[in-house]
Amino acid sequence: MRNKILLLGSGELGKEVVIAMQRLGQYVIAVDNYENAPAMQVAHEFEVINMLDGDELDRIVAKHNPDFIVPEVESIRTERFYDYEKQGFTVIPSAKAANFTMNRKAIRDLAAVDLGVKTAKYKYATSFDQLKEGVKFTGMPCVVKPLMSSSGKGQSVIKTESDIKKAWDYA
Spacing of C-alpha 12 from chain mean position: 14
Is 0.85 topped by the overall pTM?
Answer: no
Domains 4-102 and 119-170 equal at CATH topology level: no
Is residue 17 within 8 A of residue 7, CB to CB? The reply is yes
pLDDT-derived band at 152, boundaries 50, 70, 90:
low
- Above 90 in pLDDT, residue 166? yes
Per-domain residue ranges of the chain: 4-102, 119-170
| CATH code for the domain defined by 4-102 | 3.40.50.20
- pLDDT per position as a tens digit, 34-82: 999 999 999 999 999 999 999 999 999 999 999 999 998 877 888 899 9
Q: Which CATH class is domain 119-170?
A: alpha beta
pLDDT score recorded for residue 109:
82
d(CA 124, CA 104): 11
